[in-house]
Amino acid sequence: MRSELELAINGVRPLERPESRGIEKPGASGEGTFTGELSKALGEVDKLQVDADQQAKMVAEGGGNLHEMSLALEKADISMRLAMKVRNKLVDAYNEIMRMSV
């Protein structure tokens, strides 16, 4: 009778490349990668900031809706605070990895 360790070792197959199974690499299309998702999220934050600036300009010039401007400013503020929290978490994770001994 074979031991559990032998069964575990013999049952392990080498990893197949995704391309050999007909699966496209995540980075090939530019989407699905961490960098791509992060860039998309930062683009959304920037879009909210620009929209809030435009709303504020319209209200300052006498046009526009004060209610819509305050909503746009709040959305931009919340998205920026969230982006900063994500950035801080990423920096903390990087620092933690750098402190690890090999």
> DSSP states of 62-78 as a string?
T-S-HHHHHHHHHHHHH
- pLDDT score for 43: 95
CA distance 72 to 50: 9
Give the domain range for residue 36: 30-99
Specify the DSSP class assigned to residue 16.
P
Contacts of 83 (CB under 8 A, 6+ apart): 41, 42, 45
Q: Structural domain tally of the chain?
A: 1
Total Cβ atoms within 10 A of residue 72 = 22
- pLDDT score for 88: 97
Residue 83 sits at the vertex; the CA angle it makes with 70 and 67, to the nearest 5 degrees, is 5
Helical H runs in the chain? 4-10, 34-60, 66-99
Q: Is residue 88 part of a domain?
A: yes
- pLDDT score for 101: 85
Express each pLDDT in 29-58 by its tens digit: 556 788 999 999 999 999 999 999 999 999
Q: Is residue 23 part of a domain?
A: no
- pLDDT score for 34: 87
- pLDDT score for 32: 79
Residues of the chain with confidence (pLDDT) below 50: 7
